[in-house]
Chains A and B, each alone.
Chain A
C-alpha cells in the first residue's frame, strides 16, 4: 500500500474515535437526508436480525455504505462483520485497500473464494464472463451466505443503476435458495420495514437504494471518504478490446495476437474483476475533477461492466439466480 493512501486511511480511522471532532462544513441538505435514511435502515437491521453482514465489494458504493455504518452505530463499531467475495480477478489495488481499511478500522473482514472454482481454474478468458461470474461470484456468495448462516446482508446497489433495480425493495426478501421473486415482493411503505423471516430465509438490504451515482460522488467529496486509487486518473497499462479499455493488472491477462499494452491516462467509474471492467480515458485526478466529469458524462456507469450487456433483461435474470 502506498504511503499517502495508508495515511489517509489512518486519519480516516481516527475520525471515529470518541469524542468525534466537530464537522466544520455542513453537508448538503439532500445528502444529509439520504444519510439519515440510510443510517435508520442499518440500525433496523442490526436491531432485528441475529446474524447480519455487510457485503463489501471495495468499490465507491461500498466505501459509502461502510462510512454510513460507522456513523450509524458511532461510538460503537458496526455490530456486524464485512464479507468480501473474492473472484481472484480483482485489481491488486483493491485487495490491498480492503485489507488496510479493515485493519485500521478494527473491523472483521471475511473473504470468500470459491475454492472449487479456483481448483478448476475458472477464469473469464477461457470460460467467458458468464461462467466466471456465475461460479466465482454468484456461487461464492451463496456459499458464504450458507456457510455463515447470515440472515441479513447489506448490499450497495442503487435504484438508479439499472431498470430491474428501480423496482427492488430496500428490504428484499430471499427464499432459502437465496433467490429473488420480483413478482412476489413485499409492499414497503413509509420507513416501516417488515423484517420477519423464517429460518433459512434471508433478507438483502440496500441502504443506498435512493442514492444516485452523483450523490455517491458528492458525498465522498463532501465527507472526505477514502476510496481505491483506481478511481483517479493515472498512467496505466491497457489494451483496447471490443471497444473497451482493459487494464493489464497482472500477467494472467492473455494478450491476443498483435496486442501490446499501451500506457494511457485512464481511470475507472466502477470496479469489478479487472478483465471485465472497462476503463475510461480521463484526466480526472481529484474528486472535484471526477464530479465535473460526471456532470458532463454521456454514458451510464454500468456501460463499463461487460456482464450487463448480453441482453437488457440480463440483470433481472442474474438477480433471480442470486447475484447481488
Chain B
C-alpha cells in the first residue's frame, strides 16, 4: 500500500480484518518438527516482521542458529534466554499476526512430555490445533499425546501439518500413508474437522503459497485454511450464564452486578436466578459505559441491574431461570496435574471455578489415562503432567455446567493452599448427586450440652513433630494431668490407630494423607462428644494439619509443635527407627527421604531440648486454660 491511499480504504481494510474476529490456534509437535519455523514463516510471509526484528534475527541466527547462513525462524519465538541456549521451547509463547481476512493469535507450545501442562495452557484458549508431523518420522507417540490433550481441552478442529515434505521427496504416497495412520488413531475422538496439509515450512510450500513441487495436492494452503475455517461456537445457543465478578455500588441509588457473560444471551425483562441460592429476579437494565443495552450475549462484559434487591455477591452465577446450571458439592472431572508435588486424594486444595473459590478434595481417583496409548490405568496419585478421572468434593456447593457445553462454567483450577501455586486444571464431566442423599439427622443432645456436662470446652490437641521428638511422651503427660484434674479426655496415636482403623494404609504420601484425614474425622467425633483429644502423629504436611483444623470450629484445633531437631531425634532414636532408615531398611522415613513441613504459626511450640516433659506438659495446660478450654 502506498502512502497516497485514501484513509477510507485504511478503515475498510482494518474493518475487514477485524470483522471475521480472531482465530486462536495452537501449534504442537516437537521443536525438530519445525513448529517454530512454521510460525516464523507465517509472520515473515505475511510481512509482519519489522526490519529491526529481522536484523536482530539475522544477528542471532549467526550466533545461536542451526541453519547456517539462512535465517533461523525458531530464534524469533524462543524468547527466554535459557531456551535459546538449550535450543528448546519451554514455555507458551503468544504471537499475533493479521491478514486481510482475519486476525490470528498463535500459541506456540513445547512438545516434550514434561511440558504437557504448557501445551494444555495454550490449548485452553485455542480454537484450532495445528499438529506438526515430520514427514520422515510419521505419526509418533507424542502426536497421539498432543491429539489427546487437544481433545481433552475442548479443541474441535485439527490441522495435520505434514512438514518437511522436501526431505521426503515431496511424495504423495508418503503423505497419504501418514494421514491414514493418523486418522486410524484420531478419527474416533470426535473432532469436528481434521484437515491434512503437506508442507515445507522452511521454504514456505503450502504454508502461505502453493507448492510447485507438490502439484498433486489440490487442497488449501495452511493460511487459506485458517483464514476461512468456521469456528463459530454454539455458546450463544447455550443458556444464559454470568459469574458475578464485582458488585457495582457507586452510590446508594445504584446496585449492579458486573461480569462477563460466558454463554447465552440476556434481554431486559428476562427472569434470572442466582444459581446457588435459587433466588429469582428480572433484569431491569443492562448497563455499559457506552449506554444501556437492550440485549447482551456471550463475550460481553456488562453490569446487570435487577428489578428488586436479592442477595448476590462475587462467586454467585446469574443464570437463565428456566435453564439452571447444576449446583452440587460432588462432581466428576478430568484433572490434569501440573505440579512437581503429586496430587494426593484426600488433600485439601483451593478450587477456583468462574469467580468462586472453595476448599476441595479429590475424593476418588478412578483411573489415570496413559496419554500415549489412551489406556485407563489404576492409580493412587497423579504426578506432574498426569491426567486422571477424579471425583471431587467441595466445601461449599458450586454452580457448574459440563465443560463440553460451556467451557468457562466447567473449567476449574486447583491451587496449593501453602505455596499458592496453580497445581491442577480440571474439566467437569458430570455432577454426582450423592450429596443430596445424605441428610443429617438432627440429634436432641447437642455438642454444647455434652461439653457443658463435662465442664470443659472440647479440643483437638494436635502434637506434630519428627519421629522421636517426644510427641507421645508429652501428650501422655498432658492427658494424665488433665485426667487428674477431673477432665474428660481421649488419646489417639499411631499405636491405637495404625493397628485398627488404618491398618490398610502404608507410608506413601498418598496413604499418609488418608491416614491423617481419618484421624481428623475421628478426632472431630470426639470433639463432638465433648472430649479433649490428644493426637500424636508426625503429620509432616501442612495441608493435612490445615485440613483437620478446618474440620472443627475455630479455637477447637490446638497445634502443638514438638520442635526437636533431627540430630537430637536421631540420637534419642527410642524405637531404633533412624538406624533402620539409615541402613535403608525403612523407606519414606520423615526427615530422611520424606519431607517434614514445620508449622508456621502453631498455637504452642515446645523446645524439648531445654525443658523437661513435666514442664512441657504444664506449658500446654497453661495455654489450654488461657484459651478457656478448662472451664
Contacts and interface: CB of A to CB of B under 8 A. Distances in A.
B286 to A, nearest CB: 12
A209 B352 CA distance: 22
Contacts of A22: 290-292
B61 to A, nearest CB: 11
Contacts of B157: none
A160 B50 CA distance: 12
Given A189-B120, A312-B60, A183 B90 contact: yes
Contacts of B583: none
Contacts of A188: 121, 422
A210 B105 contact: yes
Contact of A186 (B3, B103, B422): B422
A20 B96 contact: no
A159 B96 contact: yes
B510 interface: no
A192 B411 contact: yes
Interface string A21-52: 11100001111110111011001101100000
Contact of A29 (B7, B19, B301, B338): B19
A25 to B, nearest CB: 10
Interface string B6-31: 01001101110011111000000000
Given A18-B254, A190-B407, A166 B79 contact: yes
Given A30-B21, A183-B90, A214-B98, A167 B52 contact: no
B415 interface: yes
B353 interface: yes
A42 to B, nearest CB: 9
Given A75-B248, A210-B94, A194 B422 contact: yes
Contacts of B20: 29
A245 to B, nearest CB: 15
Nearest to A198: B420
Contacts of A189: 120-121, 124-125, 411, 413, 422, 425
B223 interface: no
Given A40-B260, A70-B289, A316 B79 contact: yes
A159 B256 CA distance: 33
A289 B5 CA distance: 10
A74 B258 CA distance: 9
Given A73-B258, A296-B1, A196 B350 contact: yes
Interface string B111-124: 00000011011001
A71 B289 contact: yes
Contacts of A296: 1-3
Given A22-B291, A74-B289, A28 B14 contact: yes
A190 B118 contact: no
B576 interface: no
Interface in A141-198: 159-160, 162-167, 182-183, 185-192, 194, 196-198
A28 B18 contact: yes
B91 interface: yes
B191 interface: no
Q: Which of B81, B84, B249, B289 has the most CB of A within 10 A?
A: B289
Contacts of B22: 30, 33
A316 to B, nearest CB: 6
Contacts of A313: 81, 84
A296 B9 CA distance: 13
B245 A43 contact: yes
A4 interface: no
Contact of A183 (B82, B84, B98, B121): B82
B93 interface: yes
B355 interface: yes
B118 A187 contact: yes
Contacts of B3: 292, 296
A68 to B, nearest CB: 10
Interface stretch (A97-105, A127-135, A225-233, A298-306): A298-306
B80 interface: yes
B10 A288 contact: yes
A72 interface: yes
A167 B260 contact: no
B246 interface: yes
A315 B60 CA distance: 15
Given A183-B90, A198-B420, A316-B80, A218 B289 contact: no
B96 A212 contact: yes
Contacts of B52: 299-300, 303
Interface of A: 15-16, 18-23, 28-33, 35-37, 39-40, 43-44, 46-47, 70-77, 159-160, 162-167, 182-183, 185-192, 194, 196-198, 209-210, 212, 214, 218, 286, 288-289, 291-292, 295-300, 303, 312-313, 316
Closest 9 CB pairs of A and B: A163-B79, A22-B291, A28-B18, A23-B290, A74-B289, A300-B50, A189-B124, A39-B301, A196-B420
23 contacts: A16-B289, A18-B250, A18-B254, A19-B291, A22-B292, A28-B19, A30-B21, A36-B299, A39-B301, A71-B288, A76-B250, A163-B77, A167-B79, A186-B422, A187-B118, A189-B413, A192-B408, A196-B420, A210-B94, A214-B98, A292-B10, A312-B59, A316-B80
Given A74-B288, A292-B3, A316-B81, 17 more contacts: A19-B291, A23-B290, A28-B18, A29-B21, A33-B21, A159-B95, A167-B94, A186-B422, A190-B125, A210-B96, A210-B105, A212-B96, A218-B18, A288-B10, A292-B5, A292-B10, A295-B10
